[in-house]
């Protein structure tokens, strides 16, 4: 997406109203794509942002509960997302959604570690409070 954003004529940047951004964290890529969000912060017409963050097994902590594998995104990575300056620079949104997805959650018998979904929900709420117009 970053390559696409850089070739948009600056005159048309403000015409962007809605973006769905997918970010994928893997053992090879654990950096936040701040450049893309810095660009979006310059889009004065942006009102709708859907942020989907995909995590693979290497970025999750695995535990076993009654023999069943469960996963949770590391608290360190969640804190990084919560304090992500480039994301917080986006102003004027009317709608924001955050979806945290794990490749593991699509495999039968594997789910989120108890409490993980509550942490993700709280992160989403904190970011929504910081980003949405009042």
Query: Domain map of the chain by residue range?
Result: 19-131
Over the chain (134 residues), the average pLDDT of each successive run of 10 is 77 90 80 86 93 85 83 87 92 93 63 87 94 78
Q: What is the reported pLDDT for 25?
A: 82
- Token pair 């070739």 in the structure block, residue: 7
**Is this model's pTM higher than 0.75 or not?**
yes
Rounded-to-5 percentages of helix, strand, coil across the chain: 40, 30, 30
Exposed, middle or buried: residue 53 (CB in 10 Å: 0-12, 13-18, 19+)?
buried
């Amino acid at each position: 997406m970053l390559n696409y954003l850089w070739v948009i004529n600056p005159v048309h940047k403000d015409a962007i109203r809605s973006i769905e951004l997918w970010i994928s964290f893997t053992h090879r890529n654990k950096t936040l794509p701040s450049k893309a969000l810095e660009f979006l912060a310059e889009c004065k017409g942006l009102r709708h942002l859907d942020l989907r963050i995909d995590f693979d097994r290497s970025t999750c902590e695995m535990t076993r509960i009654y023999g069943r594998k469960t996963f949770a995104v590391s608290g360190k990575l969640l804190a990084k997302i919560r304090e992500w300056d480039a994301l917080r620079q986006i102003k004027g949104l009317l709608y924001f959604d955050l979806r945290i997805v794990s490749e593991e959650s699509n495999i039968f018998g594997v789910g989120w570690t108890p409490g993980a979904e509550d942490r993700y929900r709280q992160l989403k709420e904190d970011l929504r409070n910081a980003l949405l117009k009042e």
